[in-house]
């Protein structure tokens, strides 16, 4: 075996050992963003329960005006601009039904942490609404640091770039309440899962992109399920 082949073999062995070392040094990181409808509406109640009721059972007079808002954040990731864009999409779905005479998008600053139904009564007077659709979310981002390092090494040769494997899971939940009776009229949820990878250099940008993509996809899923629930709401209102 000549010297060149020996050097190539030694280099290959070093690469294998280096790759094994990288795989053993992977580090998992986690970020959790959420708000809570329960903490907002029932701050002092243990395990509150609400089941949707018919509009007639709650004493709803139709058509009526509805407000749409995010429950206050606990650990935030969405900007106010992001929230308003998502709320606008939900508003468009509500706007397809004649039972809702007008739909108001309510900015986050008008909802106070733990404000409960007293806060909703304030919104009722401020916006002239009897119904409010409150949206909560829960997003978890898991990052396996170093997971993709070997792959990037084989692509770029001697320049090692540590990589990340990103897994973003998002849940969004909408509940429609009749403020005067404090009764829930409908409920719909949406979920999404985004799997991506990024170099350590653009990790923060990729995670931000994954987060917004997760919310967008979960909103799509939510709206599809909301459409079914609004159809039932409309049917029950017409059959009165």
Beta strands in 94-203 (DSSP E): 100-105, 131-145, 163-178, 183-199
The per-residue pLDDT for range 11-30, each reduced to its tens digit, is 444 444 444 444 444 466 88
Say if residues 143 and 199 touch (Cβ distance below 8 Å).
Answer: no
Whole-number pLDDT of residue 207? 87
Q: What's the number of domains the chain is made of?
A: 1
Does 5 reside within a domain? no
- Report how many helices (DSSP H) and strands (DSSP E) the chain contains, helices first: 7, 7
Does 16 reside within a domain? no
> Containing domain of residue 55, as a range?
27-238
Q: Which residue has the higher pLDDT, 73 or 204?
A: 73
User: What tokens does 87 get?
Assistant: 């709320």
Does 21 reside within a domain? no
The kind and range of the H/E element at 64 are strand 64-70
What would the mean pLDDT of 22-47 be, rounded to a whole number?
78
Q: Which residue has the higher pLDDT, 29 or 211?
A: 211
Does 13 reside within a domain? no
Whole-number pLDDT of residue 165? 73
Per-chain mean pLDDT for the chain? 83
Does 7 reside within a domain? no
Backbone angles phi, psi at 170, to 5 degrees: -130, 135
The per-residue pLDDT for range 46-70, each reduced to its tens digit, is 878 888 999 999 999 999 999 999 9
pLDDT at 136 over 50: yes
Q: Which residue has the higher pLDDT, 126 or 236?
A: 126
Does 8 reside within a domain? no
What would the mean pLDDT of 94-113 be, rounded to a whole number?
96
Whole-number pLDDT of residue 2? 58
Q: What band does 212 get if pLDDT is binned at 50, 70 and 90?
A: very high
Does 20 reside within a domain? no
Least confident segment among 4-18, 57-71, 92-106? 4-18
Does 9 reside within a domain? no
Determine what percent of the chain is predicted with pLDDT higher than 90: 61
Backbone angles phi, psi at 192, to 5 degrees: -155, 160
Whole-number pLDDT of residue 8? 45
**Partner residues linked to 163 by β-bridges:** 199
CATH number for the domain harbouring residue 70: 3.30.160
- The b/e string for 11-38 (b: 16+ C-beta within 10 A; e otherwise) is eeeeeeeebeebeeeeeeeeeebbbbbe
């Amino acid at each position: 075996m000549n010297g060149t082949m020996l050097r190539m073999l030694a280099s290959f062995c070093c690469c294998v050992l280096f790759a094994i070392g990288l795989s053993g040094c992977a580090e998992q990181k986690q970020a959790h963003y959420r708000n809570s409808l329960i903490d907002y509406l029932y701050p002092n109640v243990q395990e509150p329960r609400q089941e949707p009721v018919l509009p007639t059972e709650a004493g709803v007079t139709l058509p009526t005006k509805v407000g749409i808002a995010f429950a206050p954040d606990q650990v935030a990731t969405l900007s106010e601009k992001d929230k308003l864009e998502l709320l606008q999409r939900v508003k468009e779905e509500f706007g397809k039904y004649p039972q809702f005479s007008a739909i108001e998008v309510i900015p986050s600053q008008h909802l106070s942490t733990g404000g409960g139904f007293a806060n909703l009564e304030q919104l009722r007077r401020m916006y002239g609404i009897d119904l409010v659709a409150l949206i909560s979310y829960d997003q978890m981002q898991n990052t396996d640091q170093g997971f993709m390092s070997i792959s990037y090494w084989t692509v770029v040769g001697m320049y090692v770039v540590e990589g990340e494997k990103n897994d973003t899971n998002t849940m969004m939940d909408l509940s429609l309440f009749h403020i005067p009776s404090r009764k829930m009229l409908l409920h719909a949820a949406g979920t999404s899962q985004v799997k991506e990878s990024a170099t350590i250099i653009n990790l923060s940008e990729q995670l931000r992109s994954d987060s917004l993509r997760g919310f967008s996809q979960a909103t799509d899923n939510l709206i599809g399920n909301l459409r079914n629930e609004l159809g039932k709401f409309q049917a029950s209102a017409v059959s009165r």
